[in-house]
Each structure stands twice: as C-alpha cells, then as structure tokens.
Amino acid sequence: MINKEILLGGNAMSNEITKLRNRSEVPEELKWDLTKVYQNENEFTEDINKIQEEIKIVGKLKGTLFDSSTALKKILKTYFAVERMTVKAYVYASMLSDQDTNNKKNQGLFSQVQQLYAKVAAAFAWFEPELLTLGQTKLDEYYSEDSELVGYKKYIDEIMAKKDHLLSEKEEKLLAGASDIFATPENIFGILNNADLKFPTVTDEKGNQVELSHGLYGKLLESGNREVRKNAFQGLYKTYKQFENTFATSLAAHVHTHNFQATTRNYPDAISAALGANDIPVSVYDTLVERVNKHLDLLHRYVKIRKKLLQLNSVHMYDLYTPITKLPEEEYTYQNSKKIALESLSVFGADYIQIVEEAFKSRWIDVVENTGKRSGAYSSGMFDTPPYILLNWQDNLESLFTLVHEMGHSMHSYLSNHNQPYHYSDYSIFVAEIASTTNENILTQYLLDHSDDLQFKAYVLNHYLDGFKGTVYRQTQFAEFERWLHDQDKKGLPLTSQELNNKYADLNKHYYGPAITNDPEIALEWSRIPHFYYNFYVYQYATGFAAASALASKIIKEGPDSYLRFLKSGSSALPIDVVKEAGVDMTKPDYLDDAFVVFEQRLNELENILEKLKR
Ligand SMILES: [Zn+2]
C-alpha cells in the first residue's frame, strides 16, 4: 500500500536550472507544512516507540482466532491500528527525506521506518494462513454473532479467495525461499542494461561528440535535426544487437518463472495469476487488445500528420518523438496556474473546488525546486494526513498539467479517506491513474475552449494525441507482446532472439501501419524495455488513460455525480466495480470506443487547424 503512493509519480521534469536555492531559502508558502502530520519530532518518536511496543503484543494474538468472533475482531482492530500508525510514520519520513535528500538525519529516519514497516508485516505474517484454516463456515458464524465484523467482510473475502491457490506450509516455505532466485533474470537484465552496456559516441545538435546513454537517447530522439535522431537510434540499437542472445535468454527465463509459479499455484495461466492478484478479470486485458487493434487506422492517420508536418518523404521510427507543434511562449507562473487549475476543475462542483482551494491555502503542496529535492512529481499521504503533493515547478504548461494530474490523485485520496473506514480507504493501483488522467483531460478541454490562438490549440491537441499514442497504443502493443511471450513459453516453444525479433517487428509493423518505414533496428526494441520484467503491468497504463478520456467527456456532458461517487469509494468494492460506479464498465468495449471517438475528434481538430495555419 505504501509503494503505490511512491509509484504515483507523474511526469518527470528536468533539473536544468543552473543555481538552485537551498531548502532554507525557499519561502514558507511554497513549502508543504508537515506539522499537520506531527507537530514536532517528539510526536513522531512517540509513535515509533508505540509501534515497537505493539509489535511485541501481536505475537500473543497468534492462535486466538479460533476462540471466538471477539478474538477475530480484536486481531483485525490491532492489525489496522498498528498498520495505520506505521503508514503515517512512513509517509512522514519519506516526505522529509524527499524534500532534501542531502539531509542525512532525515535519511536515517526514513530507513528506520522502512525497517519498522517490514517488522510489522512479519509480525502479522501468521494471520492470513490462520484465517484460511478457520474456514468459511466458522466465519459465517462469526458474522452472525457480531455484526461489526461484517464491516470487514470484503477484506476477509479477498484473503479467502486465495485459498485455492495456497499450498501446504512446506511448499509455501519452499517457494518463499526461492523468491530471490525467481528475481534473478530481472537482476541480470538490470545489470547488463544499466552497468555493462557501453554505448557509442554520437554527434549532438551542437555538433559535439557525446557518449550515448539511456537518458541522452530520449533527448536526442526529440531533436529537430534528423541526422542526430537517426544516429542516436542506430547507435543505440547497434549496441543492443551485440547482446541480443543474452537479453533473449534472460527475458525467456523471467517469463518462465511466471508460468512455473502460475502452474504451481493452480492458475490456468500466468495472466490469470497476475490479474487475479488484483481482482481484475482477464477479459479487461483481452477487450483492450481487441479494441485497440480495431482502431489502429487512427494511429496510422496520426503518423501521416507527423509526416506532413515534418515534411518527410517517409516517417522512420526515429521520427516519432520530435515535436511537431511549437511550444507556447507564454509563461505559466504558479500563481496564474492555480487560477487556471481552479477554473478548469470547477466542472467537479463547489465541494471539490473548496478542497482544492484548501490544498493551496493550507500548504499541502511543496512547489519549487531546491538543492537535494527529489525530482519529478507525486501525490502522497494517508488516512490521517492531508494528501500532499510534491512538485518541481518550471513556469511552463507542462507544470500546469502536472499540477492538475497530481491534484487528481490527491482529491481521490482525500475523498476516499473522508468517505471510507481506514481499512477501505486505500485504492487499487488499477484505478489510481484514472483520477489523475481524467483531470489532465478536463484541463485539455478547458484550454481548447478558452483560446483562439491556433498555434496554442495545435500544441494542446498534439499534447493529448501524443499522450494517447504513447499510452493507449504503445502500452497495448507491449501488452500484446507480453501475452505472446507467456503463451509461447507455456506451449514449450523457443524464445530465442530470432523469435523475439520477428514477433516484435511484425507487431510494430501492424501497429504503425503503412505510413511508417520499419527500420530493421526496431525489431530489437523489446530488449531494452524494463517493463517486460514486470508482471502483466503495462496494460493498466492503457486502460487508465482510455477510461480517463471517456470519463472526462462524460463528466463535461452529464455532470460529475457518478464520477465523484467513484472517487469516494476507495477499495470498498472490487476495482472493476468501483470504476463501474463512475459509469465505465471495463470488461466491455464501450469505454474504449468512447475514448477513440475523443481521439478522432481531436485528430480532426488538429488537421483543421493545421490547414488554417497554412493559409
Ligand atoms: Zn499519476
């Protein structure tokens, strides 16, 4: 539950300002106010001591579960109370540590809480296996004896659902012991990719010779100079080509561990195991892939616009990231952006806006950069704290998008925290990006409606279309490849570099269509994508973005009521049912079709504007 908040990091922003202020020089009103979590360090230390005392008591509860319904209630209450205190301390220490990573004392506090969190988890490790042996009949008896227990039913049901996939104690121990061995392929990939690969020297935009790296590659591909892009692209893949067999072997081994564990735990396949862990039906995945395939013609059209704007005879894979619209010259100060954020988000109604105003006024946001501050942006907090936001403000439109994105997360947290009991206040990672991306979509529409500047509109439209391309299309392409990898391994078919290259090249050709020249290097793209070492994770980027696209236009047309109910639901129901509350059934294709309608409309709009600009 903690990691999720860390993962919510939004758009990374660059740290290019030459001279940064020290934390102490940043005005108070631009810093978050963490005294809302603990008044002072003593309060924090008191909680840490309390948690340590509680951990000692927890062991005594082991085995009491079979005594009575009262005993079960006591265990649940103790568990959530200790967890709640620990999460609060964790969130506090992690924010302290992020505000200035040069501060050794705060780093120390954070690692102390990290260790404590692991101890709490270990202290309660007996609970789930014990609950499973208690059995459903006894549980039903407990529910009828004590109605307060019914308030935990959904939580308990989720644990009970694991029953068919839990093995004997001895087998579980064996699997747990092997878990770091299962992680070996990913570790090998990481070391090879980040430490051992040596990339060639290429020429940058200024004519300088620079050593290619992962970070620099992304920047060079955005260059307006085609030779620079091309050389970076070819240079990078030349290196990957040298190690293609090693990359293929480590990826195949990783996929094999998923299939092995799925079979061992009685799942029909690895995808059912991965999605089942988060209660997501496999049909959500299948529907996504099927529907995106139906609408590939729109991606092909978007590539054609690129071709036209960049005035190219043919679009190559290295032409996909260079900007095609002019960056707005206007400065977006934080003061002014707050106003735009409030105006655009007013579609959510007065109650929502009042909380956003409080976020600004009561210093829930750490706005500007300082030396040692963590880069990027995120939303963090928990049940007993405000939903804080970390930013690295840059006075540009991208920063405004990041502000409303993170505000989406924070409002989701705030509304769930204020409408659910603690144990249902946390929402699933599957729905997390919906609230943030919906806000970005609302802002997009607002900016389009409130400007007559065609250059500016073209930029905003392309910002959306490019995001859609990179999130809905590209991540679904990855999801399709990931599915194929697992099927291939399950059937006992080989996963050599040749197989992987061929499949990836086919898929890439299929996705981008006839509008693109398929450079042979792109066949190797799979080898450098760390996400293939996750476990059926990337599809959520695509489903989240598409749902947000569909929801934003629904909110603008029909009002925010059902959407606000979704924001208030936390984890009180299964993720799929929570989203249904907002009016989107993710097991059906309709929300995807709705999202493609928005994509197509904005594509038309961009084409019209470009025509007008030519005249
Ligand atoms: Zn986010």
pLDDT(406) > 50: yes
User: Whole-number mean pLDDT of the chain?
Assistant: 93
User: Please, are residues 599 and 549 in contact by the beta-carbon 8 Å criterion?
Assistant: yes
Residues 200-207, mean pLDDT to the nearest whole number: 93
Q: What is the pLDDT of residue 278?
A: 85
Q: What is the pLDDT of residue 11?
A: 37
* Backbone torsion region of residue 513, taken as left when φ is above 0, otherwise alpha when ψ lies between -120 and 50, otherwise beta: left
Choosing from 406, 433, 440, 525, the catalytic residue is 406
Q: What is the pLDDT of residue 5?
A: 35
Question: Hey, what amino acid is at 518?
Answer: N
Is the C-alpha dihedral spanning 259, 265, 271, 275 positive or negative? negative
User: C-alpha angle with apex 495: 184 to 540, nearest 5 degrees?
Assistant: 70
> Tokens for 13?
């922003």
Q: What is the pLDDT of residue 9?
A: 36
SS3 category, 211:
strand
Q: What is the pLDDT of residue 141?
A: 96
Going from the Cα of 33 to the center of ligand 1, the distance in angstroms, rounded, reads 22
406 is catalytic: yes
Classify residue 196 by its DSSP letter.
I
pLDDT(13) > 60: no
Residues 551-557, mean pLDDT to the nearest whole number: 92
Residues 89-105, mean pLDDT to the nearest whole number: 94
Going from the Cα of 414 to the center of ligand 1, the distance in angstroms, rounded, reads 15
If you count them, how many residues does the chain have? 615
Going from the Cα of 378 to the center of ligand 1, the distance in angstroms, rounded, reads 7
Q: What is the pLDDT of residue 559?
A: 96
Nearest-10 Cα torsion for 224, 228, 232, 234 = 110
Q: What is the pLDDT of residue 615?
A: 75
Q: Kindly state the greatest CA–CA separation across the chain.
A: 82
Going from the Cα of 120 to the center of ligand 1, the distance in angstroms, rounded, reads 28
pLDDT band at 257, cuts 50/70/90?
very high
pLDDT(504) > 90: yes
Q: What is the pLDDT of residues 30-77, one digit of tens each?
A: 999 999 999 999 999 999 999 999 999 888 999 899 999 999 999 999
pLDDT band at 12, cuts 50/70/90?
very low
Adjacent-strand bridge partners of 316: 517
pLDDT(158) > 70: yes
Q: Using CB atoms within 10 Å of the CB of residue 49, give its burial: 0 to 12 exposed, 13 to 18 middle, 19+ buried.
A: exposed
Q: What is the pLDDT of residue 2?
A: 33
Going from the Cα of 271 to the center of ligand 1, the distance in angstroms, rounded, reads 24
SS3 category, 517:
strand
User: Please, are residues 519 and 319 in contact by the beta-carbon 8 Å criterion?
Assistant: no
Going from the Cα of 10 to the center of ligand 1, the distance in angstroms, rounded, reads 4
Going from the Cα of 67 to the center of ligand 1, the distance in angstroms, rounded, reads 44
Q: What is the pLDDT of residue 179?
A: 84
Residue-wise burial string across 177-208, b where 16 or more C-beta atoms lie within 10 A, e elsewhere = eeeeebeebbebbeeebeeebebeebbbeeee
Q: What is the pLDDT of residues 417-453, one digit of tens each?
A: 999 999 999 999 899 999 999 999 999 999 999 999 9
Contacts 24+ apart (CB under 8 A), 20-23: 20/369, 20/370, 20/371, 21/368, 21/369, 21/370, 21/371, 22/370, 22/371, 23/99, 23/100, 23/103, 23/370, 23/371, 23/372, 23/373
Q: What is the pLDDT of residues 166-203, one digit of tens each?
A: 888 788 888 888 888 999 999 999 999 988 999 999 99
Q: How many Å apart are CA 99 and CA 118, to the nearest integer?
A: 24
Q: What is the pLDDT of residues 562-595, one digit of tens each?
A: 999 999 999 999 999 999 989 999 999 999 999 9
State whether CATH 1.10.3720.10 applies to domain 29-182: no
Going from the Cα of 17 to the center of ligand 1, the distance in angstroms, rounded, reads 24
pLDDT(118) > 90: no
> Tokens for 459?
């930029």
pTM for the complete prediction?
0.90
Q: What is the pLDDT of residue 170?
A: 87
